[in-house]
Structure formats: structure tokens, C-alpha cells
Amino acid sequence: MSDRAYAFFEEQQKARGINIDEVKARLKALKIETPSWGYGDSGTRFKVFQKEGVPRNPFEKFDDAAQVHKLTGIAPSVAIHIPWDKVDDYGKLKIHAESLGLSIGAVNPNLFQDEDYMLGSVTNSDAAIRRKATNHLLECVDIAKETGSKEFSLWFADGTNYPGQGHIRKRKAWMQEALAEMYGALSPDMRLLIEYKCFEPAFYHTDLADWGMAYNLAQKLGPQAEVLVDTGHHLPGANIEHIVAYLLDEKRLGGFHFNSRKYADDDLIVGTVNPYELFLIFYQIVSAAGDSDAGVRQNAESITYMIDQSHNIEQKIPAMLRSVLNVQTQLAKALLINHDEVNEAAERHDVLGAEDAVRRAFEFDVTPLLHAIREEQGLPHDPMKAYLSSSYGKDILARGKGGASW
Amino acid sequence: MSDRAYAFFEEQQKARGINIDEVKARLKALKIETPSWGYGDSGTRFKVFQKEGVPRNPFEKFDDAAQVHKLTGIAPSVAIHIPWDKVDDYGKLKIHAESLGLSIGAVNPNLFQDEDYMLGSVTNSDAAIRRKATNHLLECVDIAKETGSKEFSLWFADGTNYPGQGHIRKRKAWMQEALAEMYGALSPDMRLLIEYKCFEPAFYHTDLADWGMAYNLAQKLGPQAEVLVDTGHHLPGANIEHIVAYLLDEKRLGGFHFNSRKYADDDLIVGTVNPYELFLIFYQIVSAAGDSDAGVRQNAESITYMIDQSHNIEQKIPAMLRSVLNVQTQLAKALLINHDEVNEAAERHDVLGAEDAVRRAFEFDVTPLLHAIREEQGLPHDPMKAYLSSSYGKDILARGKGGASW
Amino acid sequence: MSDRAYAFFEEQQKARGINIDEVKARLKALKIETPSWGYGDSGTRFKVFQKEGVPRNPFEKFDDAAQVHKLTGIAPSVAIHIPWDKVDDYGKLKIHAESLGLSIGAVNPNLFQDEDYMLGSVTNSDAAIRRKATNHLLECVDIAKETGSKEFSLWFADGTNYPGQGHIRKRKAWMQEALAEMYGALSPDMRLLIEYKCFEPAFYHTDLADWGMAYNLAQKLGPQAEVLVDTGHHLPGANIEHIVAYLLDEKRLGGFHFNSRKYADDDLIVGTVNPYELFLIFYQIVSAAGDSDAGVRQNAESITYMIDQSHNIEQKIPAMLRSVLNVQTQLAKALLINHDEVNEAAERHDVLGAEDAVRRAFEFDVTPLLHAIREEQGLPHDPMKAYLSSSYGKDILARGKGGASW
Amino acid sequence: MSDRAYAFFEEQQKARGINIDEVKARLKALKIETPSWGYGDSGTRFKVFQKEGVPRNPFEKFDDAAQVHKLTGIAPSVAIHIPWDKVDDYGKLKIHAESLGLSIGAVNPNLFQDEDYMLGSVTNSDAAIRRKATNHLLECVDIAKETGSKEFSLWFADGTNYPGQGHIRKRKAWMQEALAEMYGALSPDMRLLIEYKCFEPAFYHTDLADWGMAYNLAQKLGPQAEVLVDTGHHLPGANIEHIVAYLLDEKRLGGFHFNSRKYADDDLIVGTVNPYELFLIFYQIVSAAGDSDAGVRQNAESITYMIDQSHNIEQKIPAMLRSVLNVQTQLAKALLINHDEVNEAAERHDVLGAEDAVRRAFEFDVTPLLHAIREEQGLPHDPMKAYLSSSYGKDILARGKGGASW
């Protein structure tokens, strides 16, 4: 049935003027980084439920991540979190990763779990704490040099819960100061990806609250600093794809942390709350990838796609598979947009025609296409099914409970 | 200065037609229940910062709560959480409370921290888990009989994170079934206070998501069931005072969990984000307390006011003092509303006049009034200052870190 | 290509255990009421852009609505708004509708455009204005008797902009009083559909602010009163499908006003912002239609589906076609859910499996199915294309500008 | 009573270390610009209620505005909107304003009410429409030269309702192009104040959606371009005072459009929904006015404060008085913050102490202070009462209904 399905799909898309070979090539080029902490226990402030079989150390996290890559072919790197993934010998971790066909991706400093950071890390009014925090950033640069990582995902929990608690403008200066020091330590091929978040764990003000603050800071730091968009870090109603298009136009979109939100930073599996929004994000990216400005095109091609979620109740590896597959699905749909059709409708002020030309691509079932490219790459048609019918999930139960949590 | 200030205040208010003796009497009648868990460590999903001096057991929580009551005179009862406050002998806890001038207030069952409850407690699709959860509710009724508690604050974390994960309508029936069983075990003078919450820790649907679901359930259960309004459990923009007025009109407002929200269920100190909203809630309550319908008046007089917050970064006892004082302040302001003036303006369609008559009461500085009633009650003018200059806060440091957390 | 596509689709769905004949039967049974005012000019507070060809009177609105029904086969009735659709002889309007294959659907009273209603209609503190408003409701009952309408969509703009402006609890009583009088005038086969809205045009409190207030009122009025869910009338994050499931379980879901919101009551074309949400609403309805409780099943079958949008910039008839088609599409997808699969996964606590079983149905492209049923009904495969290639849109340009607006 | 009240107030504040003379001087220096359109009829998309006595032309709008200034002493300029305030001879309007003790303030181009602008003005895909829109901007520069205005409030309704309708990045370029042309036409002492808005009337994307887009554009244009913060133009939860502090730190805060929001851009009277937020905004401004950086200080001193509201149901002149008074009240309170106390508490990590030091200033009743400065300036103690007891409101009724609306 699958072959017929694909043949029919191809015929249908070619009739629409879609270059199916290009679509396939771009789908095959997609790379989604999974986070080491996504394989461990996580939860809400009310409870972290403990799962059996959760990895007990960074090496086992890579083992699990390797399953996701083996079955999907598009998850070749793993982000690490320091100190959660602290090891004595990063060279060893790197070799372990490579032995599994993986590389070590973005390094994520952790500046929110030390008692000292209760009122801020790099924006703390205590200079000694700021120093400690900045040193941790520098330490992460050193680790990256050992692991071969080229990127840093910088999320700061820094902010305040009450008016007066902190001096907003001074904190702004301290943030810049710390990051400038870190920036100075980068190798020329490294990138800082600056993340923003509207709230949580700070509930009055967050030092880097929105894309504008992250972008402005990136500009001040220099060309190796870019903005990281976490899809869950926006206020209700925010048009994320607009922000994405804006940053691409400014050539400052560094990457994504994918997840889904319905209410706050819910950190659900990407693509489960409003899959159309994910599709519309990719629509902007695909549009930019075909721009006349080489810089915009280059930015669109160099985005780092990362998963960053909290699998509170789901099985960890299947949750990650589902996430990676959902991202792939929406990119596949976005690649079926006929941009000429959209733009021509827009230019003749045909609002409904333009909307339809976008939405129609979303309506296609891309399953046959995904089966086809997986087949071409020697991957199982249905990675989730393949995983569930493998013994891996059962084998790791031997690890017991009480593994790593974030 | 304080005496002159009060004399001036009294003169000013009498000139406005305010019955200052009645205002004082009502302020003295205010009772605010503090939660045992508010004295322990709490935090966000990212980190629970540990404070020195946090109580190590339920008895010490009452010791701390006694400080709040001793200094403010309006916090005579303490809500307990089972199993956080589980003790071998509740009679002993009751005697301890009484020896401190306190009583044991609402009993709060905990149905969200057992591994079994990951996918629901009373609404779990597994009948054995529902049975276990219902048994816990019944156990709490038994405990209340031992402690002399008359109320239960029922908050359920039950809900789902993804479509399909649970059968929404079946879960609704299971919720009703469990509560009906608990209701049947109540003494005639006991009340169920049913809490609702729009989201967290469930991020797709929460079984009791809003006041309408809590109210409808309360109606089905019977007259001993009422609605508990947690000020933080609403979607952005919700007009909480409207809900309060509505429930009072239906004679089903059981009580409050006070706290502040700016973004989500931030659980900040009540009155720190939008004090005017707290004032407007009290405006509706004071209005209902003067209603022509005896049932509405009775409901307004029998509301249980409780604090329910998360003092993530604040010192615990001062945070509770601040909370209790903020509630008292806004009630004091609401008692200065001249309702005749408001209503007459409203009836002559004078929008600005009516608005002004409400807001003007908020503008008064009620500090002299609060000083006066405290003086009349033998309490310190400034309970916070009195606490900070006492040795209590230093003495409890001997408890060390690692005390109770919720 | 279309026949092959359908053959393939049918084969695929049968393999999944879907009863394709039943799916088709249910799709053919779908009826979506379009609103007369949706064919006229509308806008925002900033500007109502005037379109050429807009109908100049109620008769022309029915002409336009007939196009939508002729091409889709599922829009056989038209809601009217009084006084916008006031005519001297409703019998004549009825005959006109019938001659076009249409019937007159819900009657919508208008209680927000008379100068008297500035501070409220049925909840105005002025008894004479309340009388006038109630009389309008009674007039609408009379009109319905003439037009053969069986339903009333009751939306009230009533509310306040400032605290104090109105007495919330008195207004609640006045609302009930007016509706009770209207209810008393109903024929036994008529239904009141009570709509709620969180805000706009009232910006402090709205008398019927949420489903709970509408539901409680419906219960007090009697069995001929039900709740009308307008998809745009909720606060950010509200889980509408949960409310839908809840009302179905209480057998009080009267109908829908469909439209899309991203920010506020944006009134965009249904299915353009988050099509998955519309699908999830239908998932709950389809689930209820298969319930073991006959009352729940009956409610699910008797829902009135209506469009209520504001086509500010779109061409009116195409916008309505798009709306009707989007609703049909999402119902079609929801009918492909294998409920046994979902429920079995849920019961074995397989969160990801249950979620996948729901989402998978959404992923199918239902175009072949819709083509097939249209063909079976003698309708064009693509109603939009058929409309655009017809001369109707050009012919009506002769009407000029300045037609009806709401 | 008033004199005693002030004497007591002064004593109290001096004891806190507040320099009361400086407070008075700064309050006297406050200038709030009122908008000409705030005196005319306005409404929602559902209805514009018509008031008797509304001004019939720009000259009468200035007459009304003069009342506000005469009674408050702090509203000496009036913003105009082109073409609503188009007159044949702006020199004549200027003379009329001056004769009333007023000046003509910011010029507001209108690019949202021409039929051509339905799909965008300066971002329309049609170059001729962009030209027309840009020409209007240039026309406004010419008008400003005639009226002596030095500022332009630039709000663009430009945006889209549906994905695909417009090319987001091209529109961004067109926006910049048009504003660069306008910028080039400015006199050296003129300023562009660039406003942003998250949504409405565009419901998918708005070309200038947030402060970041406005700020980035201002930076590209040059030093005469700054950001205009409309307090109603933010998503739910946005921390406006943080944005204010941020822009001050970047020396790009041009001005405010004050109003209140509870849900969306409700445009209610400033200070009626959450007066504490307004106070916190002024806290940041007052803090910046005392900064060590001269540029930051200078920015804080040169902010243009404007009212921009929609008085849908209120009497126009009293509504404006209330607005101006509410702004004055919150600035007065903010001036009572003891910044040393706040900052010292913050630096010793005393969260509750710092919060209290801010909130305490808000708790003071500043009525005596405001009476005192008004007395010193020969103004009535209570401008609202003075207005209501004057005959002006009655006299203008002779204008009848049907005056200007926006």
C-alpha cells in the first residue's frame, strides 16, 4: 500500500508544481538535536514522577539518544547540560557519542540550581555571585572545546518576583558584562544562542524577557551571538512565526527550542497543541531559505533545531521520537507550499486565495513522503513502531528507578 | 504622630458618612487562616531553595504560625496538609495548637504526590487507584474529626496533558462519585470547599477547570459543598470579583486561597501584583454582607479566608505576615466605600461618579485605622517591625536547613 | 485522479477499522447555519471597509446564502438578526428563502445598538429600558413564529466598563427575570441558546461572562434553554473542547457560533488559526454521539452549528464558503478517529499511544472523501472553485457599495 | 481640614527623608498631552454611542481641552489627528489654541481609514498605495511645521489577518522605507515616536507588533526616532515597566499613550484597572531620572506623556479630567519612594524589605499634597468638582449630537 501511496503522492505534488526531489533533499538535510535531559525524569513543582529505566548517567543518556537517531536518521547530536552532564573526562563522552553515531551538540550552562543563584546569577547584585556565574559560563566554553561543541544555549532564570527586589537597569548592565566576557572566550567558529523567556521561575520581571532583549544583546555582543527561540517562552497570543521571520530578516536567528504550550511554558511535546503553528514557523523559514538576500538564505540554512521539553508523564524515548517525528512532519508539509501561488495571490490582494495556498499544503498527508525518504535512507517506515517492537525499552528497565532528573 | 493621624482619619471618614465603629468591628472580626505548608520550603520546578530555620515538623509549623497570630491578632487557625502534616496523634497536635492560641483549620488532602496518581487520582481510569484516592479523602474526614476541623480544601491536580489521554466525561463522573462518597462521611457541621484551577500540573485539561465546574459539582453534592476561589487559578483577564459576586448571589462561596498572579499560578504574596483587584473582591463581599437577602448576607459572613502561596525566595514568617497584613489593608479600604454613593451614582447612570466613589475608598491610607484597632487589641502597631526586632527569627535558625518542604 | 484517490482512501480507512459508510452518512447529515450578517459589510472599531456587491436587504442576503448552500449542500438555513433583517412581511421572506432551498434559522435579537442600551439592555438599572429590551425579546419570539424559526441565539453586550458602574448581583437578577419572561413565551418546540462572552464591548465585567453563568441560567429557565458556545468568546488558553464535553455530559449544549481567535474575539474564519482545536471539539462531539447515555447521544445529535464571523477584509461569499468547508473538513477528520484504539490506549495508561490515535486521524487528507460525498450528492468537488468560476460574484457587483452592514 | 491634612502629610514625609519641595517641583513640571479625538464620540465595533455636546470641529475640541488644562494646570498641549483635525488654516488653529493657553502637540497621521489601506498602508504590496501613505506622512510633517508641533505619534494598523496574506519580511522593508523618507523630512528638533501594538485591527500579524520591532526600527532611522509605549498595546501579563526601564536605559523612550487594559486594547481610563502598574511605571521613570548616566536622566526628563483612550460611555471632558488626575496621582506616589531604602534592601537581599519600600509609597494618600500644589498654582483643589459645578458641561449641550467622532 505504501508504494502506491507514494506514487500517488508524487503525482499529485508534481501536478502542483512541487519539485519533489528538492523536497526530499531538504527533508533529508533536517537535523534535530535532542537534549540529554529529555531522557531523564522531569516534572512540575508538585511532583517529579520517577520512571523505571531512566538513564543513570550522561553515557546512558547518549545510549538512549542513539536510539532516536538510529530510527529516525535526523537526530545526530545531543545537547548537554552542565553540571547535569558533568563527567571527569569529556573526551571519553565524546568518543562514546561518536561510537553511537552521535555528536555532542550545544552546551547548556546551568545557572539556576545553586543556592547562590536564588536572587540572580549573572545579574545578582552580589559581585562575587556574578563572578561565580560568569566563571561557570567560561567553564562551559572550555568544556565545549573538549567536546567539540560549537554552540551554547544560554537560558537565564534571572529575574525578580517583586518590584524593588532588583535594580532592573543595573541587572541589564551586569547581564551584558557577563556575556561579553564569555563572548570574548569563544573560538571564532562558536555561537552564543541567547534564549529569552517571559516568566518562570521569575514572576515579576525576567532579565531577558522577550526576543527584543535577546536580540539587542546579541547585536551588542557581536556576530557570533544570535537569538534562540523557545516556542514555549511567549505570552498568550504571541505570533511566533512573525518573530522568526523578523529575526531571519535581521540574520540573527540562531536556533529553536521546540515544545508546545497551551497555557504557560507547559513544555509538552512539540506539535501536539497547535501543529499548524509549527507549520507556519517552517513556512517562514522555507520562505527565507528562498530569499533573494544571501544573508537571509544563509541564516535560514544554519538554524539549529533543538527539542527542549519536559516529559513528565510520558515514556522518555518514545516521547522524543514523537517530538522528532512531529517536527519532521511539519517541515515536510511546509515544503509543499507553492510560494509563487501564495505570493501571487497576496499581490493581487486575494486574501482568501493566499490563505488557502498556505493552508492547503498543511492539509496533505505527508506519511507516504516520509515513508519514502526513510526507505531511501534504510530507516524503518514507522520509527515509533520499530522502537516499540524492539527490546530496547524493556532492556533498560534493568536500570531501575532513580536515574537522572533535571 | 499616630494618635493625631487617627483622629484626623476618623474625622475625615465620619464626614463621609462612614460608621467608623462598624468598620473597626468588622476589621476585628476578620480571620485569615495561614497554611502550615507556607512556613516550609517551596519552589518552582527548577529549584527549591532551602532556607535555614524552616520548621522540621508540624509542631514547629504551628510555632511559626503562632507568631503571625500573636502579632496580627487575625490569624488564629492553621490549615494542614495530609500527609505533609501527618502525625501519630492528632490530639496532641490539637493541644499544641491550642496552647499557642491557635486552632487547626481546613484539612487539605494531597492527591498529587503519590506515584500512583501520575495520570489522575479520583479520576484515574484504574478503579483501584480511584479507591485509594477516595480512601485518602475519607481518612482526611477522620483526621478532621480528631482535630476539630470543620472544613476541607479540595484541590485536585487531576487532568490530562494530551488529547485522548483520558476520557473527559468519564473522569467527570468519577470525580463526582468520589466526592459524593466523601460528602456522605461528613458530620453535619462540616463543609467541603471545592477548588478549581485552569491548568498546572495538567496542561491539556484539568478535571475541575473553572468555577462553573466546581459550582455545578457542589450543587450536585448538597448544601455542605461550596466553591473555593484561589485567586491565582484563573486565565488571564478573568474578572475574579465578578465570580465572587456571582457565587455569593448563589450562596455557594466557601472560601478563598489568597495569593497573587501576574502570569500563571505564580503564587506570589497576595496584594503585591494588583492590590486594587483584592480591594475590588472585598468590595463585592462587603456589598453582599449588606444585601437584603439573608442568605447572601450569611454567605458573605461565613467565608473562610486562607492564604495559599509559595514563598520561594522570601523569608517564610515575614512573608506570611506581609500576606495577612495586605489582606487586612484591602478589607479596611473596602470598608470605607460609601455604597449609597456608589449605587446612587450608578442608578443615575453617572459612570464616572460611581467609579470614583469606589476608587476613592482605595485611595485612603488606612494605616492610622489599622494602628488604632491594633492598639485597642493590645497588638503592636507594626507587626512586621515587631517581628523583625524580636529574636524569634534568629532563634529558629538553630533548626538548620532541610526542614519541611511541600 | 480523484477516483483513484478515493479508492485508496477507502481502502486505507477500512484497514483501520473505520466504517466508511457511516462516516459518509454523518458527513451528509451535517448542517451549518450561515448568518445573514456574514454577507454584509463588517469591520473593526477603526474602520468598516465597504465592499462592492454586498446585499442591500435581507432578501439579497438569502440570495447569497443560497449560493453557499447550492455549492456545498450543507448550509440549508440562515440565521437572522433583528432589526438588521426586519422586513414588513416575514411570510414573504420565508417564501423567498424556501424558493431558494433555504429555511430561516435562529433569530438573533439585537440589544446593543440602540442608544438606550449604552449601559445595559435587560440588565439596565432603568426599569423602562429593561422593559423595552424584554419587549424586543418577545417581539423576536413573535417573528420566529412567523418565520418558522425554532431557535434564538441570545447574545447580550450587557456589562460594565468600570467597578461600581453597575450592581453586579442586581443585574444578574434582571437578566434572569427578562429571560424567564421570554422563556414563558416560547412554543414547546423552541429553544433558547444562551451565549456567553468574556469581554467586549464591556471591558470590566460582562453579565454573562462564561459558560458557567450561561449554563446556570439555562438550568434555572428550564429544559428549553441551552448553552451556545462561540469559539471566540473565551479567555486565552481556555480549553473549549473540555467545555463542550462538559456541556454534552450535562445535556445542555445547544449550539456553536464558529469563528477563529488568536488574540481576542478576532472573528476570523473558523479553522484558520488552530484547525486542530476545531478537530478536537468535533472529537468530543463524535465521542458523545457514541455514548451509552441516550441523553448525551441525543444532545450530540441536536447541536446547531452556526457560523458567526466578521469578514472585514475578505470577499463575503467566498469567506462563507471557506468557513463551511473548514468545518466540514474537521468533522470529516474527527470521524476517522478510532475511538476503541484511543480508549484502549488510555485505559492501559499509554499516554503517547492515546494521543497518537487522536492526532493520526487529523493527519489524513480528507479531500478524496469530501470529493466522493459531494459527487454522490451531485455537488461540485471544489465548491470554492465552482463559485469563483461562476458569474455570481461578478453579477452582484451591480449592487454597488453601501449595502447592509452589521 | 485640608491645611491640617497637608501639614500632617509634610511632616510625615519629611520624617521619611523625602524632599517635599523637590516632589512639588516635579509634580508642577508634569505635562500631560490630551488628544483631540478624546473629546469626540468613540465606541466599539458594535456601536458608537452619540453624546450631546460633543465638539463639532477641531476648534471646539481645543475649547474642551482648555477646560482640562484650566482646571488641572498640567494639560497644556493637545495632540491632533490628521485628517480628523484637518483645517484649511493651521495657523488659525494654532492661534486659537494659544488664545486658550494651549499648544498643538503631537501630530498623528491616520493611515487606517481610507479604503485603499484595507490591506496595509506603508506596507501595502501595491506601490501606489505605499506612495500615497508615505505622502500622507510627509503632509503631516508639513502640518507640524505650520502648527509648531515637534512630534509625531506613528501608529500603524498595518498587518494581516491570515497567513500568506502578506509577505512579512517585504512588509518590514517597506515600513522602514516609508519611515526613512519621513525621517528625512524632519526638522532637526522634531521627533518620531514609533508606536507598536500586538494586535487589532490586524488579527494575525501586525507589522510593528512589539517594542522590539519599534526600537529596532528607531535605531535604524536615527537619533530623532524613539519608541512610544501605549499601555494598552501589550499581550496579557507583559511587564510594561520593565520595557520602560529597558528603553530608558537605551535612551529611546519617546513617550506614552496612557490608558487601561484588562483584556485587550480596552482603552479605558488610565489608572482604573490596575493603578499599581501605573505607579510602577513611574517608579522606573523616577529611578531613571536619578541615574548616574546623563543620557538616561535626560531621556527620563524628556518623555512625552499623552492620553489615548476611548471614552465610549463616559462624558468626554470629565473622563479626560479623571485621566489626567489619575496620572498625576500615581506620579505623586512614585515620587514618595525612598530609593535609597529600596536599593539598600535589594543589595542586602532583603526581598520583602525592598518590596515594602516600594509599595509603602503607593499606600500614602497624596490628596493633601495635590491640594497643596494646586493651591500654590491657583487651581481648584478638586478639578473634577470644579468642572461639574461650572456651567461648561451644560453650555456645550447646545452643540447637540452628531459631533466629531474618531
Q: Where are the domains of chain D?
A: 3-109+231-399
User: Which of D242, D252, D284 is the mutation pick for testing A, counting most A CBs within 10 A?
Assistant: D242
pLDDT of B403 above 90:
no
| Minimal C-alpha gap between D9 and chain A (Å) | 24
The predicted pLDDT at position B3 comes to 87
Partner B contacted by D275 (CB < 8 A): yes
Partner A contacted by D239 (CB < 8 A): yes
In chain C, residues 189-218 whose CB comes closer than 8 Å to chain D = 198-201, 203-204
Q: How far apart are CA A380 and CA B373, in angstroms?
A: 76
- Kindly identify which residue of chain C lies nearest to residue D310, measuring between CA atoms: C45
Asked if D319 and D14 touch (Cβ cutoff 8 Å), the reply is no
Residues of D in contact with C163 (CB under 8 A): 272
Within 13 Å, how many C-alpha atoms sit on residue B284's CB side? Answer: 27
The stretch A354-377 carries a mean pLDDT of 98
| Minimal C-alpha gap between C48 and chain A (Å) | 17
- Kindly identify which residue of chain A lies nearest to residue B160, measuring between CA atoms: A313
Partner D contacted by A280 (CB < 8 A): yes
Residue with cell 541615574: D291
| Minimal C-alpha gap between A43 and chain B (Å) | 7
Partner D contacted by B29 (CB < 8 A): no
Partner C contacted by A2 (CB < 8 A): no
Point out the residue among D112, D162, D262 whose CB comes nearest to the CB of C272. Answer: D162
Q: Which amino acid is at B386?
A: A
Q: How far apart are CA A337 and CA A358, in angstroms?
A: 6
Partner C contacted by A266 (CB < 8 A): no
pLDDT digits (tens, 9 = 90+) for C258-268: 999 999 999 99
Partner A contacted by C115 (CB < 8 A): no
Helix D316-334 vs helix D58-72: crossing angle, to nearest 10: 40
Point out the residue among D47, D50, D310 whose CB comes nearest to the CB of C112. Answer: D47
Give 10-residue mean pLDDT values along chain C (406 residues).
Answer: 88 97 98 97 94 95 98 98 96 97 98 96 98 98 97 98 98 98 98 98 98 98 98 98 98 98 98 98 98 98 97 97 98 98 98 98 98 98 98 96 73
Residues of A in contact with D245 (CB under 8 A): 168-169, 172
Partner D contacted by B185 (CB < 8 A): no
The stretch A286-299 carries a mean pLDDT of 98
Asked if C210 and B216 touch (Cβ cutoff 8 Å), the reply is no
Inter-chain residue contact C359 with A318, CB threshold 8 Å: no
- Kindly identify which residue of chain C lies nearest to residue B277, measuring between CA atoms: C163
Q: What is the CA radius of gyration of chain D?
A: 21
The predicted pLDDT at position D124 comes to 98
The predicted pLDDT at position A42 comes to 92
pLDDT of A267 above 70:
yes
- Closest alpha carbon to D228 in D239, D244, D241: D244
**CATH level 2 (architecture), domain B3-109+231-399:** Alpha-Beta Barrel (3.20)
- Kindly identify which residue of chain C lies nearest to residue A350, measuring between CA atoms: C314
Between A398-402, B325-329, B332-336, the lowest mean confidence (pLDDT) is in: A398-402
The alpha carbon of residue D316 and the mean position of all alpha carbons in its chain are separated, in whole angstroms, by: 17
User: Which of B313, B322, B323, B326 is the mutation pick for testing A, counting most A CBs within 10 A?
Assistant: B313
- Kindly identify which residue of chain B lies nearest to residue C197, measuring between CA atoms: B238
pLDDT digits (tens, 9 = 90+) for D58-109: 999 999 999 999 999 999 999 999 999 999 999 999 999 999 999 999 999 9
Asked if A352 and C318 touch (Cβ cutoff 8 Å), the reply is yes
Give 10-residue mean pLDDT values along chain D (406 residues).
Answer: 88 97 98 97 94 95 98 98 96 97 98 96 98 98 97 98 98 98 98 98 98 98 98 98 98 98 98 98 98 98 97 97 98 98 98 98 98 98 98 96 73
Q: Is the pTM above the cut of 0.90?
A: yes
Point out the residue among D118, D198, D268 whose CB comes nearest to the CB of C263. Answer: D198
Q: How far apart are CA D298 and CA B320, in angstroms?
A: 41
The predicted pLDDT at position C2 comes to 77
Helix B275-289 vs helix B316-334: crossing angle, to nearest 10: 50
Q: How far apart are CA B64 and CA B311, in angstroms?
A: 14
User: Which of D41, D47, D261 is the mutation pick for testing C, counting most C CBs within 10 A?
Assistant: D47
The predicted pLDDT at position D402 comes to 76
Measured distance between the N- and C-terminal CA atoms of chain D, rounded to whole angstroms:
43
Point out the residue among B15, B236, B367 whose CB comes nearest to the CB of D236. Answer: B236
| Minimal C-alpha gap between B309 and chain D (Å) | 15
The predicted pLDDT at position A174 comes to 98
- Kindly identify which residue of chain C lies nearest to residue D237, measuring between CA atoms: C236
Peptide bond into C201 cis (omega under 30): yes
Point out the residue among C5, C239, C314 whose CB comes nearest to the CB of A352. Answer: C314
The predicted pLDDT at position D183 comes to 98
Asked if A323 and C240 touch (Cβ cutoff 8 Å), the reply is no
Partner A contacted by B121 (CB < 8 A): no
Q: How far apart are CA C285 and CA D39, in angstroms?
A: 50
ipTM of the complex: 0.97
Residues of D in contact with B4 (CB under 8 A): 8
User: Which of D365, D382, D385, D389 is the mutation pick for testing B, counting most B CBs within 10 A?
Assistant: D365
Inter-chain residue contact A384 with C356, CB threshold 8 Å: yes
Point out the residue among A166, A283, A296 whose CB comes nearest to the CB of D346. Answer: A166
Residue with cell 486521524: C361
DSSP D5-18: HHHHHHHHHHHTT-
B264: left (phi over 0), alpha (psi -120 to 50) or beta: beta
pLDDT digits (tens, 9 = 90+) for A107-132: 999 999 999 999 999 999 999 999 99
The stretch A238-257 carries a mean pLDDT of 98
Inter-chain residue contact D312 with C268, CB threshold 8 Å: no
Partner B contacted by C360 (CB < 8 A): no
A308: left (phi over 0), alpha (psi -120 to 50) or beta: beta
The predicted pLDDT at position A188 comes to 98
| Minimal C-alpha gap between D115 and chain C (Å) | 6
Partner B contacted by D238 (CB < 8 A): no
Partner B contacted by A164 (CB < 8 A): no
Q: How many CB pairs (< 8 A) connect C and D? A: 97
pLDDT digits (tens, 9 = 90+) for A62-109: 999 999 999 999 999 999 999 999 999 999 999 999 999 999 999 999
List of chains touching D (3+ CB pairs within 8 A)? A, B, C
Q: How far apart are CA B181 and CA D112, in angstroms?
A: 61
Residue D143 corresponds to which cell in the numbers above? 502640518
Provide the pLDDT confidence category of residue A406 given band limits of 50, 70 and 90. Answer: low
Inter-chain residue contact A161 with D343, CB threshold 8 Å: no
DSSP B61-120: HHHHHHHHHHHHS---EEEEEETTT--S-HHHHHHHHHHTT-EEEEEEE--SSSGGGGG-
The stretch A311-317 carries a mean pLDDT of 96
pLDDT digits (tens, 9 = 90+) for B128-169: 999 999 999 999 999 999 999 999 999 999 999 999 999 999
Provide the pLDDT confidence category of residue A150 given band limits of 50, 70 and 90. Answer: very high
Inter-chain residue contact C246 with B163, CB threshold 8 Å: no
Inter-chain residue contact A356 with C1, CB threshold 8 Å: no
- Kindly identify which residue of chain B lies nearest to residue D366, measuring between CA atoms: B363
Point out the residue among A167, A216, A241 whose CB comes nearest to the CB of D343. Answer: A167
| Minimal C-alpha gap between A132 and chain B (Å) | 18
List of chains touching C (3+ CB pairs within 8 A)? A, B, D
List of chains touching A (3+ CB pairs within 8 A)? B, C, D
Inter-chain residue contact B212 with C211, CB threshold 8 Å: yes
Partner D contacted by C302 (CB < 8 A): no
User: Could you tell me how many helices (H) and strands (E) chain A has, helices first?
Assistant: 16, 10
